[in-house]
Structure formats: C-alpha cells, structure tokens
Structure 1
C-alpha cells in the first residue's frame, strides 16, 4: 500500500460539532517526492463505492486502538480531496487524537491507497488516474513545515484563500530551504543574491505579521507573498548562470596552473589523481547493499522484520578519500581511480585539445612567442544509468533472510558494470555517455611487434606531452597474455622485469582490469586527464508493486539508478592502445 502526506492545508475544526474536522487529504496537480501527480478524478471510483474509510493515527493499523474515527464525507474539489472526518470520542485514543488536533499540535493528513491505473506524463512524472482509498491518517506536522501553522477557519468558509495561503507559506519555506547556502562570491552573484533575499524578506515579513496578529493572510497578502516568492525564483537562473561563469573561470585558472609547469616538480596535485573516488567495488559496495537492505526492511517495535511493500530509499554515492594505488592496493575497477565531483544536471567544463609550447629566448624589444593552450568549452549533462530486478514474490523477501541485500548487491554490481562500460566506451549517441576511448583528440598507439613493446611506446607518448602515466586499463585476456609472456624482455618469473605480477604493474605503471573496453583495445591514462561527475541525489533504490500486474500477483521489483557523466579535460593525457595487430 502506498502512502502520501499533504503538508499544506492543515486541519480545520472551528465551527464544527465536537469531534469533527475538515481538511484536504490529497492535493491535485503537484509533483511529490516520488514523482507522482494525483489527477482530479482519481478518487471518483473509490468515493462512489460508498465504503467507509477509517481514520487512523499515523498509519499504525497494526493496533485496533489506533482506529480513531472515520471519514464522514469526501469530495473532489479543484484543489484536491476534501474530507470531513469525525473522531470517535467514546474511545480514549479517539478523544486524545481529537484533543491534539483541536490544540493544533497535530495538523496534517495522509492517505493510504493502492494504484489501480496510472500513466507517464511527457515530463516523466507518474499520473495517478485511479486510486483505491484505503484509509486516511492524522499525522504530526514536520519540524520544518511552517505552512501548517495556519489560523483555524470555520466550516462555512469555502473560499480558497486559506488553502492558497498555506500553499504560499509552504512554497516560500521549501524554496528558502532549498536555496540556502547556494551562494558563491563575486560582485555579480552578490548583487543578484541580495536582490533575491530582499524578495524573500518581503514575503517573510508579511507572514510574520499575520502570525504575530494571530490571524490568517488576507487575499491581498497571499497575492503579495506569491508575487515576492515568484520574483525570488525568477532570479535563480541569472544566479546559476553567474555561478557557471565563475566555475568556468576557476577551472581555467586551475588548468592554466597545471599546464604552465607540467614537469617542474612543483605541481601540488598528486600525480595519481588521489581525491574523492566512487566506491562501488569490494567491501564498500557490500556495505552500501547492506545499508539499502536495512533501510528497506526496518524492524518493528518487537524487533520483527517489517518489509516495506513499496517505497524508496536514497543513499549517498559512496566515496573514498584515496585511490587504491595510493594505498598500495590493486584497483578493482576504473571507477576506483577516477576522481568524482558533484555537478548540477547540466554544466560545462574546459577541455585542452592542443598544447603547443613556443616559449623561447627573446631579444630586447622583440615580440614574445605565443603558446597555444587549445582550450574549448564543453557542454555536458548527467545521464541516468538504471536497471531493475525481475518480479520477486513478496513472501520470498519476507521469509528469506538477506534476500533484499542480495538483490541490492546484484543491482549495484550491474550498475557499476554499466557505468564503467559507458565511462570507457560509450558512443555518445542518445543517452549514452561519450566514453574516454571515443573522445576526439586522444592519442593512439598502433600495435608494434608485441604487447610489451606497444605498451611501452604508449608511455612515451604520454610523457612527450608532459603528462604522467597513471594507469593502464586492460582487458583480463590482454593481462593474461602479458603475465604469460616468455620473451627475453619480459623475463621469466624473476624480479626486475617489466611485469610485476604481484603488484599488477606494467613498466612500473599500475594496471586496472576492465570488461568495459572495446575489443582488442587498451588505454593508458594520466589520472588528471579525466574524471566522473554525479549529482547530489545519490543512488536511488525503489521497491514497487505497481509495475504491470505485480500487485495482483503479490510481487515486488527493485530498481537502482543514478546520474553520471565522464569528463575528459586533457585528451592528450589519454592513449588508446591497439592490443593486437591489425589484420
């Protein structure tokens, strides 16, 4: 069963008989945190059935004492599903619940429902067209939902001013929370931000004045709050553009500092690219799967397993501070060694496509030579990488210990494999990333004599361009060929040869094995030449029973997804290696 809370209009009790209240149990037209939009008419079939809808305390249907009343009437208005409820004052729990609502200590409604019919909107949201209303719960307002502290209205007041006032309060509160701290320095950004804050302050002063007087907002005040909030939101895009300009400038400065002195030994950035790295391998991936399973299967008050039949959990993208190379370990994936940064869904970065150093002695009064840095701006966007499990019987999950963790572990492994393949070999078409091997401007190394000779020639190409070899990326089959090499240059199994089997190094450079490479291809990377971007939302895991006929068959599916992009800032620090001779 799904649940949906409405932290907007609150509950009204004034002017009604003891135990009665009026409120909105659902709101039409807005996108909630799960990407759902309840459409007007979604409750029509449920309301026409005439079935009694119970009133429950905080969705706790496992205790009959929590059935604190019932829904007397329900109707769909332009705003949402408006109900009239009645608490059972003859029961201790019902009377206590009514006192909490009457005293405005509890002031929210939430519905429990099943989806009978839904479809996708053009924007990708789930349009709920037919839902079965199972119960309505009275819920405590959230700590930050200031919109719930509204004046109590009489039942006879059917205008939408109070509802719009609650919407205006909620919009302002959430907008202010979402944008807080999203400010960078610079005259332009400070000016725009100051103007935005002035609009927010205007709206807040109107709300504070109404609260101080203990009254609701007037229609004129609602309009002024809505206008001020809209004015503040209109400044978001100019502020974001200014921030992107600042980011481009800072990137250019950083890149200029890096390429200005490539070989003088004073580059403070570690040659192995240590920093923040995705941790989707080994123990870190197991820990993430365990955390997802724990979140999706909490324990009830008696310590029993309480599987959530449908819901979602968002976990941070796991990070580690150092690459395995810095810790003396072998890498299990190229994702272990490429640094990762958080970005907005659309962003830009600078790429160096050419480096021509024309520095030379210059006579007095002569024109100084110009060096070509070859910078271009690249527009980039995060892409969704996702997959889901086949349908799983609900009772398998309820009865089999650790099954949720196994499913999460398998889905995370698949996500990692797909992401690695895209980072290395995405062709850039449709929603595919443009992988490192397919970026314009990277160097190439043809097969020469044997694989040992070829890989050594690739190192020379990187070093000639002033870059540092960070890792070879090879297929397991190519690494096997190198380990089994029996030539004079490779040596047998003695120490000192170009192949260090124990440390998995080739010519002193760490080797990362990958199944995501193009056929007969390897890579040599300067680890500062490329990185990965993701968003702030983390990796989302969703369990649902609303796919196809899963609900009717009592089955669940799990979906795992995240948003990523690969950025190649220095193509000259990448060599694409042919590992076999061209026929």
Structure 2
C-alpha cells in the first residue's frame, strides 16, 4: 500500500471515529436533559414549564429521531431498494433460459420372443417347405431269404406367407429439420411399436387375413395327467415340460407372464426357504434346466412351453424407417410421413413340440383328479 492510500485510509477512519464519538456525546447530553426535565417537572409547572418554548425543548422535539438514527447506524450507509429484479415473468424471468436435458420416453419392455426362434433371411413373397407327415416305420426283423418290409414316407408341401407389419406417423418437415433429437425419438419409438406387434403376432396371430399363424393357436393343449394332489405353479410347468418332451423335441424355453414367474420364484418350502434360491443370489429365470422367459407379451395365468428352435421366423424385410412427402396433400402442406415397416413370415414346423395352457385350469383339474 503506498503512502497516499494509507493517508487517505487513516483520515477516513479518524472521521468515522470522531462522528461516532460526537453522536454518543449528543445522545448522552440528550438523556441527561430528559432526566432533568422529568425530575423538575413532576409536580406540574416549575422549570420544565418554563423551558417548553426554549431552544433545548425544540431541539428534543425535532432532532431526537435523527440522533437515534445516528446511534443505530453508527456511521453505516443504508439504501432502500425501490424495485427488486427477480426471476418472475414480469421481471427478469423472460431473459432466463432453462437448461434442456435429454427427452424422457416411455418405458420399453424387453423383447424376447424373436430370440427363441430360428431366424432365416428370405428374398421372396412366400416360403414353401416340405413337411413330413408320415415317416418310414415298417422296419422289422427279417428271416434269411424272406421278403423285406417296405416303408413309406409321406411329404407335404407347406407354405408360409410373408406378411407386412407397418405403421406411420405424420410430422412437420420444419420441426424435424429444427429438432434432430425428435427424429431420433420417432425412429426408436416407431421401431419399438413394430416389435411389440411382431411379438403379439408370433404368439397369438390367428392366421386370418393378413395375420400370421402364431404359436399359441397351433400348440397342443396342456394335459394335467402328470399332476398330483396340491400342485403348485412349478408343478404345472413340470407337467407341461414332460408333455412337450413326448413329442421327441427337447423343450428349449418357457414363456410366462412376469406375474406368474414371480409367484413361482417366491414359492417357499415348509421351513420358509425359497425353493428357487436365496433372494440375495442372482438366480437367472430357470426351471428344470430350461430358461424361463418372463414377458408381458404372454397373458397372465397362461404359459407356452416347448421346442422353439423347431419353429422358424422368415425375415423378408428387416424393420426399417422411411420418410416421404408422397402421401395425400403432404407435399403442399410441408408435412412428411414417417413410415416404419417390416415383412416377415412364420412357420410352426413342429407345433406338436409346443404345449400351452393356463395355470388355473391345470391346478383345478389336478385337484379334482
């Protein structure tokens, strides 16, 4: 600090100290004067009455508030704000730009049914495949020189039609040009909506019109013959696995609704222990060595068990997203159609390897047997 700055600082401090002392002396004298007036004027009249029009009385009346302010402020400067700037809409709020985070979409369930199947790429509008309906089974022991038995094998030509699954959404050309993030959201959501419909068709398509012929309508109905008294959901699945295995195709998957899976996962023994493993352990969904696929694509209380590798999904067009203005009057209105579609076919080549049913019927039938 140079000498000039120091001298200035010292001078300011001295003036503040002097001002503080002056204020204190004035207040002390004022208090003394008030006490004298109170003492001498108690009976009415006297010195207090004589001094009412004096300079001291007038000083008390006019300057007391100022002296009190000096004492309270003690040299400080106060400032009254007439207008406060805030984030309100009628103040500075219009100039505040909020931060923009990533958009939050709706939850998406895990898609699993396609992963269970044998997937084949094709380039035609339908797929024909020979399907054996009778195998050669006339083999028998033959005596020396005797005529050998003749077997027969019957093949039947089956056709799996390729179906189109599609949907579109209209959008403004300007909004997509100005918001690239929106384009990404549309693509993801359109593809997801397509996949949801694909799962529904693979499981429950009834084969009419443009519907695929799904697995549940072609599967064998569950027969609870293997169940005994007081069965559980796990017992029902065990009986279905046994039934599917009798088709000579080893079961490779169990499709159930998550609600039904957790009923099985939380089943306890007589000692209160979880049958399928400690809750603290990371136990993958599995029953009797066969993966369990909990998915909301399956309806509650129903199941599908069997050899999914023997069933084939044909991919003609993989799912794709396309944009065009060639729809109605979209070109003149600066609108575009965002189209999402795929072309697939499905063949349940060995439907006898699939067993479907519902837990309620299975438990009831076993109890009544």
TM-score normalized by the length of structure 1: 0.38
Once the two structures are superposed, the pairs formed by residues 2-151 of structure 1 within 5 Å of their partners are none
The aligned counterpart of 2:4 is: none
Q: Among 283, 291, 305, which residue is 1:524 paired with?
A: 305
The aligned counterpart of 1:581 is: 361
The structure whose residues are more often helix, as a share, is 2
The aligned counterpart of 1:459 is: 241
The aligned counterpart of 2:292 is: 511
Q: Relative to 1, partners in 2 of residues 1:351 and 1:367: Cα closer, same or farther, differing over 3 Å? A: same
Kindly indicate whether residue 222 of structure 2 is the aligned counterpart of residue 445 of structure 1: yes
Distance 1:437 1:486 in 2: 30
Given that 1:360 and 1:369 are in contact with CA atoms closer than 8 Å, whether structure 2 keeps it comes out as no
- Report the 3-state secondary structure (helix = DSSP H, G, I; strand = E; otherwise coil) of the residue aligned with 1:541: strand
Task: Give structure 1 stretches of 5+ with no counterpart.
Answer: 1-330
- Report the 3-state secondary structure (helix = DSSP H, G, I; strand = E; otherwise coil) of the residue aligned with 2:344: strand
1:496: how far off?
Answer: 9.3
The structure whose residues are more often strand, as a share, is 1
- Report the 3-state secondary structure (helix = DSSP H, G, I; strand = E; otherwise coil) of the residue aligned with 1:402: helix
Distance 1:356 1:514 in 2: 40
Given that 1:421 and 1:515 are in contact with CA atoms closer than 8 Å, whether structure 2 keeps it comes out as no
The aligned counterpart of 1:333 is: 112
Distance 2:265 2:168 in 1: 38
Distance 2:207 2:333 in 1: 39
Kindly indicate whether residue 211 of structure 2 is the aligned counterpart of residue 429 of structure 1: no
1:407: how far off?
Answer: 0.8
1:433: how far off?
Answer: 0.5
Deviation string 1:237-272 (CA, Å, 9 cap, x unpaired) is: xxxxxxxxxxxxxxxxxxxxxxxxxxxxxxxxxxxx
1:337: how far off?
Answer: 2.4
The aligned counterpart of 1:568 is: 348
Distance 2:311 2:337 in 1: 35
Distance 2:210 2:345 in 1: 10
The aligned counterpart of 2:57 is: none
Q: Relative to 1, partners in 2 of residues 1:469 and 1:377: Cα closer, same or farther, differing over 3 Å? A: same
Distance 1:443 1:507 in 2: 21
1:491: how far off?
Answer: 5.3
Q: Among 246, 252, 256, which residue is 1:474 paired with?
A: 256
Q: Return the index of the structure with the highest Cα Rg.
A: 2
Task: Give structure 2 stretches of 5+ with no counterpart.
Answer: 1-109, 365-369
Q: Relative to 1, partners in 2 of residues 1:453 and 1:485: Cα closer, same or farther, differing over 3 Å? A: same
Q: Relative to 1, partners in 2 of residues 1:359 and 1:509: Cα closer, same or farther, differing over 3 Å? A: farther
The aligned counterpart of 1:243 is: none
Distance 1:520 1:357 in 2: 40
Q: Relative to 1, partners in 2 of residues 1:349 and 1:409: Cα closer, same or farther, differing over 3 Å? A: same
Distance 1:471 1:509 in 2: 6
The aligned counterpart of 2:35 is: none
TM-score normalized by the length of structure 2: 0.58
Given that 1:426 and 1:434 are in contact with CA atoms closer than 8 Å, whether structure 2 keeps it comes out as yes
Q: Among 533, 545, 550, which residue is 2:330 paired with?
A: 550
- Report the 3-state secondary structure (helix = DSSP H, G, I; strand = E; otherwise coil) of the residue aligned with 2:199: helix
- Report the 3-state secondary structure (helix = DSSP H, G, I; strand = E; otherwise coil) of the residue aligned with 2:249: coil
Q: How many residues align?
A: 246
Deviation string 1:63-87 (CA, Å, 9 cap, x unpaired) is: xxxxxxxxxxxxxxxxxxxxxxxxx
The aligned counterpart of 2:339 is: 559
Q: Among 171, 174, 181, which residue is 1:402 paired with?
A: 181
Deviation string 1:142-162 (CA, Å, 9 cap, x unpaired) is: xxxxxxxxxxxxxxxxxxxxx
Distance 2:154 2:299 in 1: 28
Q: Relative to 1, partners in 2 of residues 1:386 and 1:355: Cα closer, same or farther, differing over 3 Å? A: same
1:523: how far off?
Answer: 1.0
